[in-house]
Amino acid sequence: MRDNPLVLHVLGARPNFVKAAPVVRGLAELGVRQGIIHTGQHYDALMSDVFFADLGLPEPIANLGVGSGTHARQTAALLTGLEDVVLEHRPALVVVYGDVNSTLAAILVCAKLHVPTAHVEAGLRSFDREMPEEVNRVVTDALSDLLFATSPEALSHLANEGVNPAKVHLVGNPMIDSLFAALPKLDPAPVQERLGIDGGYAVATLHRPANVDDPEAARELVDAVLGVAEQVPVVVPLHPRGRQRLAEAGLVDRPNLKIVDPLGYVDFLSLVRGAALVVTDSGGVQEETTMLGVPCLTVRPNTERPITVTHGTNRLVTPASLPAAASKALADGAATPSGELPPLWDGAAGPRIARVIDAWLRGDNLSPAAKGALR
């Protein structure tokens, strides 16, 4: 390995920033030279720039500004933009996060250029190939040189796909590191006051293609959310993706339904912390509500994060069953996790990942015993 090797992190969307921050801090503490490529996949300032500030991330060395578009057009822009940056900086390792199109594009670029890669959040599977994210996960894990798993079931998924176990490290969940670091700042009251919320409320986040791209599915989902709003005021920080489609389906301001712009990391989690209930189709929110002890109803037929159901506060629901499920959750009150909290979700995943990367950069042979020592 060459002297003073460079590690680049490719980030494109809110969950990437949250997962990367603890890893970036951990590598900085070890003196590793690094930089961030911001692809601009989330093109709203409140979906990206505010997160850099809230999470203490350094300024990117490049911002591709790819914005929105179809999967093909967005991925094509990402491929060409990322190739130029990787060729310019010649990193020793590129770290990617989660399952967004920026992650897929970075993995493909690096595979073609023979640049080693690491995937944080490897091995998650919904087993639903109709989800674009599922395709991104499978391809990313197949091409990565280091795979960082956040939960035990991910290990078996990777083994079943023939991934060399020497590449795989169970490290815990860096998203939980960020949550733990933010906890002292998570005060619901100022956000509630600013948004004009008085009394109990629910939070809803909706953006998955299966829920918002098809007009009929969007109408069914909106009707279900309105059923929840008949029971408790619902605040919807509306993701840019699908905003127009959901508005056309009736998701607009009305009594007991408040549509707001996307919130920064601390503001959003503060709002969630004070909520009686969260309705979502997001992956990361399932994890955050588990740790905050807030009931979560996920409007999806499956989840790549089953540990939030078996060990957390998450339940899968259909649009048709959402109002009744919300009624039960509201009657039951504050949620308690279904079992013990997931292993290694202890706020130390970032340093674990950093130690593995630092050892890899130095060429250390990570035997099973060495992996254990790095925890």
* Catalytic (active-site) positions: 207
C-alpha distances out from residue 185 to 30, 51, 115, 285, Å: 27, 14, 39, 18
CA angle (329, 335, 340) in 5-degree steps: 135
Beta-bridge mates of residue 36: 9
Compute the distance between CA of residue 238 and CA of residue 244 in angstroms, rounded to an integer: 10
**Residue among 97, 99, 98, 107 at smallest CA distance from 132:** 99
Q: Within 13 Å, how many C-alpha atoms sit on residue 366's CB side?
A: 25
Structure tokens at 164: 């060399």
User: Rounded to 5 degrees, what angle do the CA atoms 350, 86, 52 make?
Assistant: 45
Are the beta carbons of 273 and 185 closer than 8 angstroms? no
* Contact (Cβ atoms closer than 8 angstroms) between residue 33 and residue 6: yes
